[in-house]
Amino acid sequence: LQLENLHPGFLGRLHSKHPNLTAKEKKLSAYLRLGLSGKEIAGLQNVTPKSIEIARVRLRKKLKLSHEIRLAHYFSQL
């Protein structure tokens, strides 16, 4: 809910551009859009920072992004 207040329409645009994302991937995308670090996201989800790192790599592959593009920057442009 906070995300929609800060960035209206983000989740809708994310879903329309990438409809195959899972709920966890959408949640990770939202956290990245808010500018949270891997450690902060890990704390919110009660997982290790390494788990977030792996999830980020898998998300990058699923979105077919090159390694030069930062995920946070990609989501800020969405």
> How many Å apart are CA 51 and CA 41, to the nearest integer?
10
Stretch 55-75: mean pLDDT, rounded? 88
Long-range Cβ pairs for the range 69-78 (8 Å, 24+): 71/29, 71/32, 72/32, 72/33, 72/35, 75/10, 75/14, 75/29, 75/32, 75/33, 76/33, 78/10, 78/13, 78/14, 78/17, 78/33
pTM: 0.82
> How many Å apart are CA 13 and CA 36, to the nearest integer?
20
Stretch 52-73: mean pLDDT, rounded? 89
